[in-house]
A and B are shown apart, each in its own frame.
Chain A
Amino acid sequence: MLRGPGATDVALTVNGESVTVHGAPRRTLLDTLRETLALTGTKKVCDEGTCGACTVLVDGRPVYSCMTLAVACEGKSIETIEGIAKDGELHPVQRAFIDADAFQCGFCTPGQIMSIVALLRENAGPTEDDVRRAVAGNLCRCGAYPNIVKAGVSAGKRR
């Protein structure tokens, strides 16, 4: 469908709910989530695809939402950090992050968690190396990496 140059409607499924957002075709998925849908758990750190803080799942695959246009997600299912806890129960990866002290300032944490959630759907029992590969594109400036790796492995074990 031909879109733009003016603002346009985009139908998305976000954390299981159907939403239609209205915005310029150049608007990123990240800005759409944060500013239009008030889902601010997904963080903007570099806005140019170099840090992984904005990682969300699109049809189950981890993507940098700052490098993805919202219009390109028409009809797709988006999962964000706000959507992975079910029925008031934290997702096993979230619990593992708390148990392993896998964050300090917490700003990279939503992106790290989403990368590992995606990994666990492909590989239910990841090794340390598997987790490292999954979060290789997620920077953590506080240096919580050793505990992030532990959390990823233990989240696999507890599922």
Chain B
Amino acid sequence: MPRVVKSREEFEGEIFESLVLVEGKDLPLPAAGTEFSEIGRSRRRVDGVQRVTGRARYTQDVYLPGMLYVRVLRSPYPRARVRRIDTKKAEKLPGVRGVLHRFNAPKAAFRGEETIFREEVRFVGDEVAAVAADDEQTAVEALRLIEVDYELLPHVVDLEEAIGDMAPRLDTDGNVAEAATHKRGDAKRALKEADFVVDATYRTSTQVHNSLETHGAVAAWDGEQLTVYESTQHTFGVRQGLRTALKLPFSKIRVLCDYMGGGFGSKGGAGKYSIIASLFSMQLGRPVRCVLTREEENIAAGNRSATLQQFRIGGKAGRITAIEHTSWANVGQGRWVANPTGPTNTLYDIANLSSKSYKVVTNAGSLAAFRAPGYVEGTFALESAVDELAEKMGVDPLTLRRKHAGSPKDPMSGKKYSDKHLLECYRIGAAEIGWQRRRSGGIRGSAPHRRRGIGMATQIWGGGGGPPAYATVHVNPDGTVVLTAGTQDIGTGTRTVLAQICADELGVDLDAMQVRIGDTDHPYGPISAGSVTTASMGPAVRIAARDAKEQLLGAAAGVLETPKAELRLEGGAIVSKGARTPLGEILSKVENNTVIGRGARHPNDPDLSQRTFGAHFAEVEVDVHTGEITVEHIVAVHDIGRIVNPTTARSQVEGGVLQALGFALSEERFLDRATGRVMNANLENYKVPTVKDVPAKITVKFVDRPDRKANNLGIKGLGEPPIIPTAAAIANAVANATGARVRHAPLTRARVLEALAVAGARS
């Protein structure tokens, strides 16, 4: 019988309390010394063949008979009132089937607004109208024929300009709103009493996700049911968004996402494109496709906020005694802020702390969660500031961190961690990079004008996961197994690790397994974000597999006329006193049937704080003539509980490091202040790392100890941790190599040269 229980989980730095439905009892952790058949073993991805043959079907690959193509007319102005729209010429173009805009579109609630086409457009790229046509080229031509009368309004796109007094006020309360504060001890007094104080301002630029598959949806209304294929990290979130916008019951909406080409946080729910495609499909009775172009992806599909962060950090007697951290983030037209003060509040055991986080609205595209939102930006500042303090105090920066990194308690909530091996991460990382080679002031590099240095930085993140998450395991009469869950595989290897957990618990071979995910007709699965997927889904899958196994053993006991207690399920066969009978043979003895096991994720211990920890070490060379940074070696060490698949885990870390390398060195959206336009809304001028930017060496290490108090598998998440500390580790290595402190990410050559000039002037 399902029952309601209280649950308390962390998600992307926030704590959520809720009631959830669970069934049955949770399983205990596998006993120490358990010999796993699948868990902890490197396995090839179960969907590898589909992905390398081009057969994997992504949203972009869905072409339905009679399908119409949508293109969206977007505001060319950062702020304007749409006074009049004339679509007569567009509608006359042969092949145009429909036009939607604010004067004719049905009301469709979206993120707190009543309509998807605003009267006041608020960034370059804001939706003004949409055309559905027989083919894409016709839709593009029709957009040019739409005449819009705009009344231009004063705008501001730049973070620091928006904070100032001269900026136009975009919200009635002004542009700046306090989003989060935290205080413990007395930071002001401790800073006054400190022997050393660093007072520094850090900046991070806007990073754009640029998932290779752009945001998009294909909607098909058949008069009874709306089927939406969408590139998403959360099919159930899309269903919720469509229900709110279209006022349809859940039973009439089905959202599908078989394969998806990257999201990195930006594909968390329905977009305006999903609603536009659905509205057209319901009006016109034909399938409708609305897939964004690369330019639209850059201007209207989310980004990581630019930040301005002020730090005052004080030290005394070899310890950090106080931190004051104030952050402002440019959220564009977003309604929330990814909080950069999260790591400051929780990473180190520091007695006196005061932090404030402000949300700043501007006439730029909205932020969207981007792989460890807030934490990437905040950790760059925090971990740079800690190094600057260590330098001033004349102490080793790793030694200084060790004094504050060992606490078993979350300094913000006071709760004990379920597990923590951060000092072990430091030990492994220092040995791998050769920390003892680090010299204050760096060393000579491979040429006289090249300096070499080593730096490091720490990461804290959630990733404990929690309910609600459900799975079912179907066992067919031939002994094959289908695991069904409402989760998604966004490239992390979800299908593979869940298949491993299921096969392991059930006692079947991995190749007997099929995993079906990405469908709202499946049991509910959480958003594939916040590094929660494996830790939320895995324990539910294990329970479902155990449930199926118990039923299978019961069936086998009947067929073999042997007591259930004498039977085991191993390698797809029932084992009884040394005799093996394949599962299919047992089940074929009874009439057609499907054995169905069910599992639910049980809540976390509310008195514990589930966190992941890690440290990255970087060795770099800096060309002091050109400002070019060459990252020679990154060592990434993570404490994320038990590793389910070492191969896919390693790939996750390498990927996180490389995406962080973009944030650290090259990725930066340029907005023109005068026109509000993104000047590099493409993959040519927005610099995503290429194969040539990969460091010569990336060393990946895991503590790999089950977090015994986290869940029934002792596992935690890994998607986000490896993107968090890389930029700070590189900035600290650059400072070690050259004495130049670059306080603005990305550390472009211009910024490095400028910092070198400042450092040179000082010495």
Contacts and interface: CB of A to CB of B under 8 A. Distances in A.
A113 interface: yes
A82 B210 CA distance: 26
B659 A104 contact: no
B294 interface: yes
A45 B261 CA distance: 10
A42 interface: yes
Interface residues of A, number: 51
B262 A82 contact: no
Contacts of B214: 45
Nearest to B691: A145
A42 to B, nearest CB: 7
Interface stretch (A57-65, A68-76, A91-99, A119-127): A91-99
A45 B52 contact: no
Nearest to A99: B44
Given A40-B57, A98-B45, A143 B682 contact: no
B464 to A, nearest CB: 23
Nearest to B650: A101
A38 interface: yes
Nearest to B493: A104
Interface string B258-294: 0111101000000000000000000000000000011
A139 B655 contact: no
B550 interface: no
Nearest to B210: A141
Highest count of chain A CB atoms <10 Å: which of B61, B493, B684, B689: B61
Interface string B444-465: 0000000000000000000000
Interface in A39-93: 39-48, 50-51, 53, 80-82, 85, 90
B500 interface: no
Contacts of A103: 45, 48, 51-52, 491
A153 interface: no
B609 interface: no
Contact of A107 (B48, B53, B213): B213
B51 A143 contact: no
A106 interface: yes
Nearest to A91: B52
Contacts of A40: 54, 57-58, 60-61, 63
Contact of A110 (B54, B63, B682): B54
Contact of B293 (A47, A98, A141): A47
Contact of B491 (A50, A135, A142): A142
A145 B694 contact: yes
A43 B261 contact: yes
Given A94-B53, A97-B52, A98-B48, A47 B294 contact: yes
A149 to B, nearest CB: 7
A95 to B, nearest CB: 8
A101 B49 CA distance: 11
B490 interface: yes
Contacts of B690: 136, 139, 145
A13 interface: no
A43 B60 contact: yes
Nearest to A106: B51
A110 B648 CA distance: 20
A146 interface: yes
Contact of B53 (A45, A81, A142, A145): A81
B52 to A, nearest CB: 4
Contacts of B683: 45-46, 50-51, 139
B54 A143 contact: no
B225 interface: no
Interface in A1-59: 24, 34-35, 38-48, 50-51, 53
Contacts of B293: 47
A149 B259 CA distance: 24
B213 A45 contact: yes
A41 B261 contact: no
Contacts of A38: 63
Contacts, number: 155
A141 B688 contact: yes
Interface in A132-159: 132, 135-136, 138-149
A40 B260 CA distance: 14
Given A44-B60, A136-B691, A105 B654 contact: no
B651 interface: yes
Contacts of A90: 49, 52-53
Contact of B54 (A41, A45, A136, A145): A41
A61 to B, nearest CB: 19
A51 B261 CA distance: 14
Contacts of B259: 105-106
A104 B651 contact: yes
Contacts of B52: 81, 90, 94, 97-98, 103, 106, 109-110, 113
B37 interface: no
Contact of A144 (B55, B209, B651): B651
A98 B212 CA distance: 20
A141 B491 CA distance: 11
B692 interface: yes
B294 A143 contact: no
A105 B53 contact: no
Nearest to A149: B691
Contacts of A81: 52-54
A68 B658 CA distance: 31
Nearest to B214: A45
With most chain B CB atoms within 10 A of its CB, the pick from A53, A85, A106, A135 is A106
Contacts of B689: 143, 145
B568 to A, nearest CB: 32
Contacts of B650: 101
Interface in B218-262: 259-262
A132 B692 contact: yes
A146 B214 CA distance: 24
B105 interface: no
B698 interface: yes
A97 B48 contact: yes
Interface in B32-56: 44-45, 48-49, 51-56
Interface string B50-79: 011111111011010000000000000000
Interface in B644-685: 647-648, 650-652, 654-659, 682-684
A87 B364 CA distance: 52
Contacts of B698: 146
A145 B658 contact: yes
B61 A105 contact: no
Given A46-B294, A97-B52, A144-B654, 10 more contacts: A24-B137, A41-B54, A42-B54, A81-B53, A98-B52, A101-B647, A103-B48, A138-B691, A139-B683, A144-B655
30 contacts: A24-B137, A40-B57, A43-B58, A43-B60, A45-B214, A45-B294, A46-B294, A46-B682, A50-B683, A81-B53, A85-B53, A94-B52, A94-B53, A97-B48, A98-B44, A98-B49, A103-B45, A103-B51, A103-B491, A105-B213, A109-B51, A139-B212, A139-B688, A139-B690, A141-B212, A143-B656, A144-B654, A145-B691, A146-B654, A146-B694
> What 3 A-B pairs have minimum CB-CB distances, sorted nearest first?
A41-B54, A143-B658, A107-B261
